[in-house]
Chains A and B, each alone.
Chain A
Amino acid sequence: MSDPIIKIQNMNKWFGDFQVLKNINLEVEANKKIVVCGPSGSGKSTLIRCINRLEEHQEGDIIVDGNELSEKTKDIEKIRAEVGMVFQQFNLFPHLSILDNCTLAPIWVKKMPKKEAQELALDQLKKVQIDDQANKFPGQLSGGQQQRCAIARALCMQPKIMLFDEPTSALDPEMIKEVLDAMVSLAKGGMTMIVVTHEMGFAKEVADEVIFMDEGMIIEKADTKEFFASPKSDRTKLFLSQIL
């Protein structure tokens, strides 16, 4: 077995006095797809935001691709460049065209020549089927198109890991499918993915493991088949009975 690409040990996090994450232990191997589910406020988003240090944790260790994340981490930007992230609200840059959204970081962070970056961006946009929208601005696109552009933008940095923070929660049902399709094809390409989502169909199709969280703790972590067929804890059973 290879070394895990993400390793979280005894991690605790507080927002003020409120403990959002309690004693999290998690290992993710390269090329695995993990789906994190659970009720709102259970700390799922906070957990994956800790992985690229958009949130700081107070106790425990997080090791991403061999680098430990802490206040002492100097090159946090370098680690973040290796970890792509897709947000619930897309967070495209509204003042830049779709193409510029995708090329901005490769050009200025990775120092890629402009031509090469544009080719790469068009390639990625083609994969999510919005290369014909490349010169429009985010405000002119539908939610589903924006989210697919956000995926392409993250992929343009050629990350080793992709984090998805409820990518389909802000979309209407018809658009969910086109975004999920893009994610499925990405998963089939062998990307390491951690996905926070309520789309259990997606979980069943691509996830290697499913994690169930509640009240800041990992309640259950199991292989996908096992998780849906025979959940161990009562809390998980209750959750699954409500959403399936």
Chain B
Amino acid sequence: MQTLNFLKPNRDNIKNYSIIGSFLVLVSLIDVISNAFLKINLTSFLPGSLTTLFPLIFGLIGLNMMRIDYSGNKSLDLLNKNINTNNFNALLTLLILFSVVKVLPQSLSWMILDATISGDSKDACTGTGACWTYIKVWFRRFMYGMYPNEFHWRINTAFILVIALGFVGYFMKDNLKKYLALYYVIIYPVIAYLVIYYLISGGSFGLQWVETGAWGGLSLTFIVSFFCLIFCFPLGMIFALGRRSNLPAIKYISICYIEFWRGVPLITVLFMSSVMFPMFLPEDFFMDKLVRVIIAITLFEAAYCAEVIRGGLQSLPRGQYDAAKSLGMGYWKMHIFVILPQALKLVIPGIANTFLALVKDTPLIFVVGLAELAGMLALAKTNPKWLGFAMEGYIFASIVFWIICYAMSKYSYNLEAKYKTER
């Protein structure tokens, strides 16, 4: 005769246990789901505190009964191995599951079911949910800042051109491949600068001049991030090599540089670049605020890049240096062909980290009066016609930033996989 032993399920009565166990878990889930979505309390007949604990207790007993080692059932084994290894893990599994179920209906109804997206003024937002109309109406501002609406095509064209130029490297012929680094480090930034200067700033070729103060939104995020990324990497490389140099002057200059920039907060650097820096310049010398800010962030992030790259340089065995030297390579040949390719491959995760931090630091340029995406949000939420929609704005901005950063980190994984040659 089979006796039900709650504490010791085993293979012999696997069917009974797994069926009863899954039934109990199902009951607890149904209870929580109906509670959350339909607002019906199935266990209202129980005393107060038990009602709340009911699904947890039922679920725990159910999972305990299902916990059979080597049951032979694939999905059951998978479940037991990953989320049901012991009572504590079963409890955590249930808690996480229940809290997701509890939170889901509210957030769903706020974000989608009760949200409004139609209309083009604040009056359309009468529902209890989010008002995406706000994002829709302000979308152009969030993308292009105060840039005049009729010239938005100039920004779009400039970006498409810059991206297209970035892909040139993929189509280069083999005999030009050796100039690849030269292209990306010097030629490409210069061309990109010219494209952005002539198209977005305008002022010549019949295009109306738009001052940088009017630039903003996501396009400004892109412009600042783009130039900072593209310049801070080679600069960081130079300082990383400099810090390891045998020449004392170069070594100490590099150390001072790195330690200085790592020691000051970015926000102070930005203030200094926009407020103090012009005081030291001759009166007839003018440098645009945006350019100053880009230079400041570049110098700042280069110090971080330098330390990340130095970490990669230090992790290479000395034998690599010996081998390169013994083949008659000088300092530069050794570094370009042997040391840097290996070191940079090692620091891809670290560099990606630095770059992501850089992109997410760009909203700080708001303190000097440049409003990129997050800055435009801060401006928009104080607009008297559209008060009270900060939540929607910040959720929108987080989603946009998340997409950008996730794409970047995915790209870095791809690079890692691409350059993996070790066994």
Contact = CB atoms under 8 A, between A and B. Distances in A.
Interface of A: 49, 52, 54, 77-78, 80-85, 87, 89, 91-95, 104-105, 108-110, 137, 139-140, 150, 153-154, 157
Nearest to B337: A104
B242 to A, nearest CB: 21
Please indicate which of the listed interface residues B317, B322, B327 has the most CB atoms of chain A within 10 Å of its own CB: B327
Contact of B328 (A77, A137, A139): A77
Contacts of A93: 320, 323-324, 338, 342
A52 B329 CA distance: 12
Contacts of A95: 341-342, 345, 419, 421
B44 interface: no
B333 A80 contact: no
B344 to A, nearest CB: 10
Nearest to B174: A114
Contact of B326 (A85, A110, A137): A85
Given A95-B421, A139-B423, A140-B423, A80 B326 contact: yes
Say whether chain B's binding surface is mostly helix, strand, loop, or mixed.
Answer: helix
Given A52-B326, A54-B326, A91-B320, 14 more contacts: A49-B322, A83-B326, A91-B319, A92-B323, A93-B324, A93-B342, A95-B419, A95-B421, A104-B338, A108-B329, A137-B422, A139-B422, A154-B326, A157-B328
A87 B419 CA distance: 26
A132 B170 CA distance: 30
A218 B93 CA distance: 72
B421 A87 contact: no
User: What 7 A-B pairs are tightest by C-beta distance, nearest first?
Assistant: A81-B328, A91-B323, A105-B327, A91-B319, A85-B326, A139-B423, A80-B328
B325 A80 contact: yes
Contacts of A78: 328
Given A95-B419, A139-B423, A87 B337 contact: no
Contact of B322 (A91, A137, A154): A91
Contact of B327 (A89, A94, A140, A153): A153
B206 interface: no
Contacts of B329: 77, 105, 108-109
Contacts of A109: 327-329, 333
Interface residues of B, number: 22
Contacts of A89: 317, 319
A85 B341 CA distance: 22
17 contacts: A52-B325, A54-B326, A78-B328, A83-B326, A87-B319, A87-B322, A87-B323, A92-B323, A93-B323, A94-B342, A104-B327, A104-B337, A105-B328, A137-B421, A139-B421, A150-B323, A154-B327
A85 B342 CA distance: 21
Contact of B337 (A82, A92, A108, A157): A108
Interface string B303-335: 000000000000001011011111111100100
Contacts of A139: 421-423
A161 to B, nearest CB: 11
A84 B322 CA distance: 11
A153 B324 CA distance: 11
A82 B337 CA distance: 20
Contacts of B328: 77-78, 80-82, 105, 109-110, 157
A80 B328 CA distance: 5
A137 B330 CA distance: 24
Nearest to A105: B327
A157 B327 contact: yes
A49 B322 CA distance: 9
Contacts of A83: 326
A232 to B, nearest CB: 34
Please indicate which of the listed interface residues A83, A93, A150 has the most CB atoms of chain B within 10 Å of its own CB: A93
A166 to B, nearest CB: 13
Contacts of B322: 49, 54, 85, 87, 91
